[in-house]
Structure 1
Amino acid sequence: MTKKAETRQYAALPIDLSSGELKIVLVTSRTTGRWIVPKGRPEPGLPGHEVARREAFEEAGLLGTVSHKSLGSFVGVKGQGTTAAPARVLVYPFRVSAYLDDFPEKGQRDIRTVTYLDALMLLSDGGLVSLLLRNERRLIDSLPPLAVIGADR
């Protein structure tokens, strides 16, 4: 069996503070139904944080402000079975300012806004859980300030 080259992905870590409590927005994977955060592959001409912002919109209908600096990264697996390959995922904090009713992948995924502790229990990727645990104290500080709705879209 040959070792597959590591690919790269960019993820949004959508954090909603509107209730006064830190909540994280999770989505299900389209193929496995596992709970994940929005993420996608590099796109020509777009920096990683912009790919993460776009994925949060496309997968969950989220508007907000994304940090230009990643919280860190983890190695996950992209694909299943014989197509599975390691993927280095850079995670960008994303401050949620609005939830849209209509977005590109509506109906293709489940979306859930959960507490930090519930997110740790629901997330299927141990690498992401470890990243969240290592950065628990600085999650809120890593968020960019709120922008005017639509200005960062």
Structure 2
Amino acid sequence: MFPAIWKNYILPILSRPAQFQVAGLCYRAAPEGLQVLLITSRETRRWILPKGWPMAGLKASGAAVMEAWEEAGVKPTSKPPKKVGRYRYPKITSGGVPVDTDVDVYAIEVGSLSQDFPEAGERTRQWVSAQEAAERVNEPDLSALLLEFPEQIRGTNPAPMPKNKSEAQS
């Protein structure tokens, strides 16, 4: 029985190349300092960055912007997204099998947040410091990236975003 499990389940997982996704590390300057936007995943409700699969006809950075819109209602500033790192996590497939997935992360400066976006009723979003974001996410590599982010972005002068009550916690 064990040889069949090894051959049919374990070996394919070990030999499978990593899949690829893109994520938006959405940020703004606030009176309290640099903030990043976290959202909850739809099923497990854990804190994540908006992310998804590459899209035909879009560069990876464009796909990251599109995911940030669909999952978090992000309307970016005119500043182009900038790749700031990569992390790996075990994505659980629909069959329950974990598959290593590499995620390229793009910094996206937020101009505003929409209250009406495709996944508005499915996710919670929240502005937090990079330090708090690093503590909330489950992926160690993403946590490290978030801790380094303020230093990476420091020279780019993010534009302060007006803070109103509807955007403070949403």
Distance 1:32 1:139 in 2: 30
Deviation at 1:44, TM superposition (A): 1.1
Unaligned 5+ runs, structure 1? 147-153
Name the residue aligned to 1:79. 92
Distance 1:85 1:133 in 2: 25
* Higher-helix-fraction structure: 2
Please state if 1:27 is matched with 2:34. Answer: no
Unaligned 5+ runs, structure 2? 1-9, 161-170
**Equivalent position SS for 2:133:** helix
Name the residue aligned to 1:112. 126
**Equivalent position SS for 1:70:** strand
**Equivalent position SS for 1:11:** strand
Deviation at 1:93, TM superposition (A): 0.4
Deviation at 1:121, TM superposition (A): 1.2
User: Would the alpha carbon gap of residues 124 and 137 (structure 1) be closer, same or farther in structure 2, given more than 3 Å must change?
Assistant: same
**Equivalent position SS for 1:13:** strand
Name the residue aligned to 1:132. 146
Distance 1:143 1:73 in 2: 23
Letter in 2 for 1:78: K
Q: TM-score, normalised by structure 1?
A: 0.85
User: Would the alpha carbon gap of residues 140 and 96 (structure 1) be closer, same or farther in structure 2, given more than 3 Å must change?
Assistant: farther
Which has the greater radius of gyration? 2
Letter in 2 for 1:40: G
Q: Give the root-mean-square deviation of aligned CA atoms.
A: 2.1
**Equivalent position SS for 1:49:** helix
Distance 1:145 1:104 in 2: 26
Aligned with 1:70 (options 83, 93, 96): 83
Equivalences, count = 146
